[in-house]
Amino acid sequence: MPRMTFERLEATYRLPLFDLLGQARRVHDAHWPRREVQLCTLLSIKTGGCSEDCAYCAQSAHHATPVSPEPLLEKDAVMRVARAARETGSTRFCMGAAWKGVREGEKRFEQVLDIVRAVSSLGLEVCVTLGQLSLVAARRLREAGVTAYNHNIDTSPEFYSNIVTTHTFEDRLQTIQAVQDAGMSVCCGGIIGMGESLADRLRMLEVITGFDPAPESLPINSLVPIPGTPLEHLPRIDVFEIVRLVATSRIALPGTKIRLSAGRECMSREAQALCFFAGANSIFFGEKLLTTGNAEAEQDLALLRELGLEPQAPFADVEEPLPHACRKEAPATA
Ligand code: SAM
Ligand code: DTB
Ligand code: SF4
């Protein structure tokens, strides 16, 4: 049973904007530190050449996009990016691979486990998105130190086959179930602006509100149109549609982190401020998403300061501490 039915989601979404924002803010303040925004760094550890035909994706081998296939990154290269991410204030490190899925026993899976074990020693939340997963593979990722697995349903079950034909919506749900059965947190959201209706967006949310347990985080992406994909010419979506979806999601999923994800580069500061007010409390931070650009880090920090918001503080429990220059000073001894 979804926590919120489609009808309730729609009634909420259609409230007068300030009523919707007020309600979302009250829910947010009751569940979250009011001023905190999590910064997450994203790294594509295996780029391009993907067998799947997701119509939005720069990394699908089915579309002639500007992205060229690259091999899986070496652990040391990933660690350099992860350490830099931590030093610039990220508390979550998300690694993406352009694969249909991974299986236990595969060499590349063992390599990813090795990378995860190393990154998890840095005291960051570790999120991976590797496509389809069996229960056994999910358990091994959890043992290696993954805190959350990102697997988006992307849109409604009804609209899904307009966007992807090489796997099904049901396949996505099965992976999410495996992740939950393995005891890992789920990060699951979608994309808006792919030509879907409002009903599709709310159906997507209805499906996600039915997860048990609720997802740990919900990334809301707006389409970044990629040259060479079937969606390259779609128009940008209206900012109030993003704000309304963030607010409705906050009300429907009070304890879920809402991550303002792809497409933020094109949002004004004012639009982002409304999203934070409406309950968004996590962003991708740094110059790049997976293959496309992101908002400037300096500008993001300036915006947070301007709004009186603060990046989530680093976690204390760390095997490999920050280099001396970045550590807090010890209290003066008498
Ligand atoms: N292959 C894995 C999978 O499909 O789950 C992981 C990588 S995939 C790139 C992760 C998510 O990024 C997608 O589910 C989608 O929500 C988002 N995404 C990818 N390309 C995008 C684009 N052009 N615009 C907005 N979001 C995008
Ligand atoms: C998610 O929902 N958004 C991120 C992350 N999960 C992996 C990816 C955004 C990708 C945007 C397009 C690109 O850079 O290729
Ligand atoms: Fe892109 Fe993931 Fe689809 Fe592959 S499965 S085309 S990486 S979204």
Is 266 among the residues known to form the active site? no
CATH of the domain at 287: 3.20.20.70
Per-residue pLDDT tens for 176-233? 999 999 999 999 999 999 999 999 999 999 999 999 999 999 999 999 999 999 999 9
Residues with CB under 6 A from ligand 2: 42, 58, 94, 96, 129, 150, 152, 189, 219, 221, 224, 261-262, 289-292
Q: How far is the CA of 57 from the centre of ligand 3 (A)?
A: 6
State the pLDDT at residue 318: 66
- Does some domain include residue 107? yes
φ and ψ at 282, to 5 degrees?
-160, 145
264, 295 in Cβ contact below 8 A? yes
Domain assignment present for 325: no
290 alpha carbon, closest ligand? 2
Is this model's pTM higher than 0.85 or not? Answer: yes
- Give the distance (Å) from ligand 2 centre to CA of residue 296: 16
> Which amino acid does the sequence have at 224?
V
Question: Distance between CA atoms of 35 and 307, rounded to whole angstroms?
Answer: 9
Question: Which atom in ligand 1 lies closest to the alpha carbon of residue 57?
Answer: 20
The chain-wide mean pLDDT, for the chain, equals 94
Is residue 259 part of the annotated active site? The answer reads: yes
Ligand 1 pocket test target in 221, 236, 289 with most atoms within 8 Å of CB: 221
Query: Which atom of ligand 3 is nearest the CA belonging to 129?
Result: 2
Residue of the nearest CA to atom 22 in ligand 1?
A: 224
Full residue range of the structural domain in which residue 304 is found = 6-311
| pLDDT for residue 3 | 80
Q: What local confidence, expressed as pLDDT, does residue 315 receive?
A: 84
Instruction: Report the distance separating Cα 103 and Cα 11, nearest Å.
Output: 42
Summarize pLDDT for 109-163 with one digit per residue, the tens: 999 999 999 999 999 999 999 999 999 999 999 999 999 999 999 999 999 999 9
Q: Give the separation between CA 141 and CA 49, rounded to whole angstroms.
A: 23
| Position 54 in a domain | yes
The alpha carbon of 120 is separated from its chain's Cα centroid by a whole number of angstroms, namely: 18
Q: Give me the catalytic one of 40, 86, 172, 187.
A: 187
> 8-37: buried (b, 16+ CB within 10 Å) or exposed (e) per residue?
bbbebbebeeeebbebbbebbeeebeeeeb
For residue 166, tell me if it sits in a domain: yes
Provide the domain count of the chain. Answer: 1
Residue 127 falls in the annotated catalytic set = yes
* Segment 14-67, tens digit of pLDDT: 999 999 999 999 999 999 999 999 999 999 999 999 999 999 999 999 999 999
| pLDDT tens, residue by residue, 234-290 | 999 999 999 999 999 999 999 999 999 999 999 999 999 999 999 999 999 998 999
Task: Name residue 95's beta-bridge partners.
Answer: 43, 128
Q: Which residue puts its alpha carbon closest to atom 11 of ligand 2?
A: 262
Residue 161 lies in a domain: yes
pLDDT at 11 over 70: yes
Residue among 47, 59, 226 to mutate when testing ligand 3 (max atoms within 8 A of CB): 59
Contacts for 193-197 with beta carbons within 8 Å, 24 or more apart? 193/222, 193/223, 193/234, 193/235, 193/236, 193/237, 193/263, 194/55, 194/56, 194/155, 194/159, 194/162, 194/163, 194/223, 194/231, 194/234, 195/162, 195/231, 195/234, 196/155, 196/156, 196/159, 196/162, 197/159
Annotated active-site residue in 40, 86, 92, 127 = 127
Any domain includes 317: no
Asked whether residue 95 is assigned to any structural domain, the reply reads: yes
Report the C-alpha gap between 214 and 13 in whole angstroms. Answer: 20
- Ligand 2 atom nearest the C-alpha of 94 is 7
Q: What is the 319 CA–ligand 1 centroid distance (Å)?
A: 31
In the chain, pLDDT over 70 holds for what percent of residues? 94
Alpha-carbon span 294 to 331, nearest angstrom: 38
Q: Which of 40, 86, 92, 94 is catalytic?
A: 94
pLDDT at residue 316 is higher than 80: no
How far apart are alpha carbons 131 and 225 in whole angstroms?
A: 21
> Cα angle vertex 113, ends 107, 117, to 5°?
150
Q: Are 239 and 268 in contact (CB under 8 A)?
A: yes
- Flag whether 244 is in a domain: yes
40 is catalytic: no
